[in-house]
């Protein structure tokens, strides 16, 4: 079964202009970030790629934990991207995911090790990670802790 996704975009001028995108639930303004010489209005491709990679990883991780009968007390994620600009050529180099998986107070050391393994495996199972494989270095540095009673 194939699932189509459609994005409609409008751009209002040259490089330093702004535009809008509409992809169902995603509706926002777009432009080049100020740090890259643009107007910094709305979001930009760099943030959207990071958002796609991070949300895909997080949802994949949650599903894999659930299938392994691990129910975290909490699950949070910080993801960071690195974009290199050399000779006015922009290269999306890397994404690092840093999930924090807090397990319930009755979790065992084996549960911690299992959650860590799953956190690393989730990256290769994520559709977006597979889509950018070979072009963007993706790493995962999970922290798994047991909740304090």
* CATH 2.20.25 correct for 1-43: yes
For 45-146, CATH number out of 3.30.428.10, 3.90.79.10, 1.10.1020.10, 3.30.300.20 equals: 3.30.300.20
Residue 48's closest CA among 18, 87, 21, 76? 21
Tens digits of per-residue pLDDT, 84-99? Answer: 989 888 899 999 999 9
Confidence at residue 25, expressed as pLDDT on a 0 to 100 scale: 94
Does residue 141 contact residue 98 with C-beta atoms inside 8 Å? yes
How far is 89 from 119, CA to CA, in rounded Å?
A: 33
pLDDT digits (tens, 9 = 90+) for 5-52: 999 999 999 999 999 999 999 999 999 999 888 999 999 999 999 999
81 sits in which H/E element:
strand 74-86
Q: Distance between CA atoms of 59 and 64, rounded to whole angstroms? A: 9
pLDDT of residue 149: 80
The more confidently predicted of residues 76 and 35 is 76
């Amino acid at each position: 079964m194939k699932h189509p996704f459609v994005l409609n975009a409008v751009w209002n001028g040259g490089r330093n202009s702004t535009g809008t995108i509409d992809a169902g639930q995603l509706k926002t303004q777009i432009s080049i970030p100020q740090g890259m010489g643009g107007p910094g209005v709305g979001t930009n491709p760099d943030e959207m790629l990071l958002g796609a990679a991070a949300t895909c990883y997080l949802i994949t991780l949650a599903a894999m934990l659930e299938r392994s009968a691990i129910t975290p007390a909490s699950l949070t994620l910080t993801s960071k991207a690195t974009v290199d600009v050399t000779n006015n050529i922009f290269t999306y180099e890397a994404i690092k995911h840093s999930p924090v998986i807090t397990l319930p107070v009755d979790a065992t050391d084996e549960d911690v090790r299992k959650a860590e393994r799953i956190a690393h495996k989730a990256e290769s199972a994520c559709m977006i990670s597979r889509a950018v494989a070979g072009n963007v270095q993706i790493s995962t540095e999970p922290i798994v802790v047991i909740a304090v009673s």
